[in-house]
Amino acid sequence: MAASDTEKKQGKLQTYYNTISQTVLRFQSPTTGLFPVYGEDDSKVGDVRVSIYCALGIWSLHLAYKRLHCADYGRTYLLGQTAVKTMRGVLSCWMFQIPQMKKFLAEQIPENSLHVKFDIVTGQALKDDGYPHLQLDCISLFLLSLVQMISSGLQIIYTSDEVEFVQNLIYCIERAYRIADYGMWERGSKYNTGTPELNASNVGMAKAALEAVNGFNLFGEHGASWTVVYIDIDAHIRNKAVFEQLLPRESSSKPTDAALLPVLSWPFFATHDAHLKEQTLLTIVQSLKGRYGFKRYLRDGYGTLLEDKNAQFYQESANLQMFEGLECEWPFLTFFQIIHCIFKGDLHQANELWADMELVLHMTSQGVVVPAYYYVSYNHSGKTRGQGQRVATTEGQDDKYFLWGQSLYVVTRLLIDSLVPVNELDPIKRHLSASERPRLSHRYINFEASSKDRLIQIAVIAESLRLHQVLATHGVPSQTPTQTEPIQIWSPNQLKAALKFMGVNYDLELCGRPERPVGLLGTSLFYRVCGQTVICYPLLFEVNDFYISQDLNSVINKVQSDIHMLSCMWKLEGRPTYLIMITEAMVQSANARDLIDLLSSLKAGATCTGVRVKLGRLQSLVSSGTKEHLDFLTHLSEQSNSKDELNFKSIKERETSSTSELRVNLSPERVCQVQPPAEDMSSYTDRRLIDVYQSTEDISIKSQSLRLLSQRHGTEYLVNGSTICSLLENIRMQASHSSTPDWSVVRLCSALTLKVTDSLAPSITTLLVSGKLVALGLFSGEEEVISKPINPSAIGDKLYRLCQPLEPRETVLQQELILLLGQLSTTRPKLFDGILKLRLGWIVHAMQMTLACDTPGLSVYSLSPSSVDKLLLQLLQYSKTSTPLRPVIWKRDLLGSLGSVPDNFYGRLWYLLERSSKGIQLYDYHLPQQPTLSHLTVEEMSFAVLVEDMLSVVRDPVHRHVVVEVLTVVAVILERNPEVSFENAIIVEKILAQAISLFKAHTKSTESDDKVRVAFYNTPSDVVDGTYSYIAKAVCLQLLDTGISGSDCSFM
């Protein structure tokens, strides 16, 4: 390097050092190392997010000095240690929050979250006065920055206590995909009413942080095996899926948000899907970019002169439209855009953007000052929205600085001046795609390694030797647990027990990994544990309390689904290994022939979904399978007080009598029979109910008698020395293992013993992320809508509270529906087009209605779980196709039960509201024009939810769908007659009554009004003399009654 070139770079570094010293460094707390949001001499609050960004700015300057290899007067070391001090300050503040962390890991609610504001001198958490501390992006930012800085050579983590604490921090973000929080702007939803919501930015940050930290050694090059941290790979996959499904939106209330800029580019680089990234960035630029920077999000009132500075949150009725066009523009957000251009190699655009930024920044004696934001002044707030003069905040005056902006300014300038290359600012190479990224460790799984070999390894495990021999006679290779040695087979619960020691610290009272099940990916790895090779079979084959796994067809379908999901989601080096556990009960069940056919097809190397598979012995699969080393268990085993706790056991081979014979049941499953109505025993005394239970062999009558006893005395009540709960368990097992299973009894016993299946919460989250709401409750009873992710126990509690008193069987049936709907929304999303709210009780009604047409007297509760799955899929498919063999009223009933609406229905309702000054009236529900139009926008999900709330007052599915038709016709008429509008409210029931009256007159019917209404509902809509024509005439009559200016209405 030429001397003059070196001197120039030294001069630039001197300038940036002076700038960061005067505008950032001097505001660092000498005790905690934290920084405030605004650099002022009297700042008392340290902010975690801003502190970490300050540390990143200081660290980047440290890298620049380190790279120059010249006399720096100790600045390289000083800057590096200053960044370390900040990171350790954040770590220390959070370590004092361990009791809070333990609460959060148990229940992810705002009240339990780690604080992000601390006393800048003492490091004590500030008094919780309602401030929204639940901001997961801060934890993700800390973890990612920690990995980057340690990878560059800094030593931040000093002790094993700190390693274990960081492991617990990882647990805090693993379930970001289902945690509604307040986001980077600390406001929650766009409405700023104190309501958290699921944000794409937070989920993306968590995804990126998990990828970065997995298998990372927190001691850097000096680390040992016990200083490595791990992640739950299934949680990561869920975060990835939810993040990419949310994009390009930020959340249900925000179509886009500038918080996504650092997520898609430096420092997180959360997705490498080029199309998705560019689509999202283009949306941000087009929607939020201004002359002075980016708006945070549309209708953001922060910093505007119209916002009440004394109110932390807005009132529910706040008019956000008044902020439209007046949103503040933040210059520091443009730095993220410039950095993105540099990382992708577009220096020309980066220089153009910087030229624009130079007009926005301020030059002072302290160096360049970045204003926090530009706001519209009083003198111009009344002008055309967005066209008024903007004024900068007062940074640089009175020795006040916006530290987040100042830090990013330094990072940006260092990149533009080539003082720090992108590879050094991102030492773990997150900006590169997975295939280009170097592997940091060959011992631990490389999470984002691209899987080029799409082949699934499968091993069939027979529970007994005689079952192994029976399978062999049918050409199916298998192994018993003994034959797999020295490889051990663990149950999912055994693996969960082992993983619980990850992050345990008795001195800090850290309890290790939370009680979370091991998912599909986690059970498809080989593990090295204390010198042993271990593999775990999937949760599907665990002997659990729920009954779905006792339906062989459901098991077969789930196996095929699991294999397909592995082929789609597996991104690890090596192949996934899937264990199929076969029990003797399976081959003795009805439809065992289907199981043998499945295993035979797997032996041939393919599945029904076209996935390539390889069936083999575990010993031959281990070399090509993916392996993870649980070294923390080896370290624990060396401690004498842990040896007993680490006594893990593999499953054992079932012992059977050598004389007993086992045969595969090749008979088909018997068709479910219609059951006669059960006798009403509600008036029976306890003694008589017990006598009935003892005297009958009919398990249906037995379960009904126990149901009544449990309603009176609870399930711990003793009957002949046994609790009702244990008796119900026995009946459930008897009913499910019969040659003709009685699924109605199985469901009743499961409900009475309060069973809750696994994966309810992920399924609910999947549905919410796909833009759906889920309503729990019975068809004709109370409902409760789930609009944000909640934990499984809360879902179970709601179901049992809403359904148990009137129809216990529906509490478990609706759990089945949640699982299936979650799966279908991912694999068959088109089936849910036009459906916003999935009302489970109404879906059960549609299923029962269909059965009543096809098999009168058959109950949906009597169907096997696999038959329920098939029926639900059929109904969703029927809703998208014509059904000429079924009555029109049946189709309307189906569409109403599913909550289906036509394309652009909500957009048309918005237009309809614009043309009706008094709004829409449906029964007692009034949807007003204002403040609806001023508070919401047509793109928001919140408006669609408001419309659904209005439609929910209709209690009959057929009537509901006809109301949708009425509103659609009204909107079409107004679209085709732009000069026409309603002066009074649109009274939907009045229009419908008029249409039915016209229909009755035209058909000259003499039937009763109820029969005429049914005939009207059974009339096609879009034919000559169809319902649309009568509704259109009724609309025109109502318009004429209100005295419209137009003389004619055109519908066709």
The full DSSP string for 228-270 is B----HHHHHHHHHHHHHHTT-SSSS-S--GGGHHHHSTTT--
Q: Give the tokens for residue 444.
A: 């631990």
Q: Please report, as a single letter, which amino acid is at residue 64.
A: A
pLDDT value of position 102 = 95
Indicate the DSSP class of residue 673: P
Statement: residue 1046 has pLDDT above 50: no
Question: Which residue bears the tokens 């300014």?
Answer: 409
Global pTM reads 0.90
Measured distance CA(870)–CA(675) in Å, rounded: 21
pLDDT value of position 1018 = 94
Report the pLDDT averaged over residues 456-469. 94
Identity of the highest mean pLDDT range in 129-143, 533-547, 888-902: 888-902
Statement: residue 224 has pLDDT above 80: yes
Confidence of residue 1045 (pLDDT cuts 50, 70, 90): very low
Contact 100, 133 (CB under 8 A): no
Report the pLDDT averaged over residues 798-806. 94
Statement: residue 931 has pLDDT above 80: yes
Q: Work out the percent of the chain whose per-residue pLDDT is above 70.
A: 93
pLDDT value of position 382 = 52
Measured distance CA(253)–CA(936) in Å, rounded: 9
316-to-327, 432, 634, 932 alpha-carbon distances in Å = 20, 44, 55, 12
Report the pLDDT averaged over residues 303-309. 89
Report the pLDDT averaged over residues 944-954. 94
Lowest mean pLDDT among 102-106, 812-816, 840-844, 975-979: 975-979
Instruction: Indicate the SS3 state at residue 478.
Output: coil
Statement: residue 639 has pLDDT above 70: no
Contact 51, 86 (CB under 8 A): yes
Confidence of residue 450 (pLDDT cuts 50, 70, 90): low
Report the pLDDT averaged over residues 62-87. 91
Angle of CA points 254, 260, 266, to nearest 5°: 175
Report the pLDDT averaged over residues 857-861. 91
Question: Please, what's the largest Cα pairwise distance for the chain?
Answer: 105
Statement: residue 332 has pLDDT above 90: yes
pLDDT value of position 380 = 55
- Provide the H-helix boundaries in 254-387: 261-264, 274-288, 332-343, 347-358
pLDDT value of position 303 = 93
Residue ranges with strand state E in 104-158: 117-119
Report the pLDDT averaged over residues 466-477. 92
Instruction: Indicate the SS3 state at residue 388.
Output: coil
Measured distance CA(1031)–CA(272) in Å, rounded: 51
**Please, what's the b/e burial string for 510-521 (b: 16 or more CB within 10 A of its CB; e: otherwise)?**
bbbbbebbbbbb
In sequence order, what are the residues at sequence separation of 6 or more whose Cβ sits closer than 8 angstroms to the Cβ of residue 107? 791
Measured distance CA(15)–CA(9) in Å, rounded: 10
pLDDT in tens, 478-514: 999 999 999 999 999 999 999 999 999 989 999 999 9
Statement: residue 123 has pLDDT above 80: yes
Report the pLDDT averaged over residues 198-217. 95
Please provide the average confidence, as pLDDT, over all residues in the chain: 89
pLDDT value of position 1052 = 43
pLDDT in tens, 641-662: 555 567 788 888 888 765 567 8
pLDDT value of position 399 = 81
Confidence of residue 448 (pLDDT cuts 50, 70, 90): low
Q: Please report, as a single letter, which amino acid is at residue 332.
A: F
Confidence of residue 385 (pLDDT cuts 50, 70, 90): low
Tell me which residue of 476, 468, 463, 470 sits closest to 663, measured CA to CA: 470
Q: Work out the percent of the chain whose per-residue pLDDT is above 90.
A: 67
Statement: residue 984 has pLDDT above 90: no
Cα within 13 Å of Cα(839), Cβ side: 26
Statement: residue 1020 has pLDDT above 70: yes
Confidence of residue 381 (pLDDT cuts 50, 70, 90): low
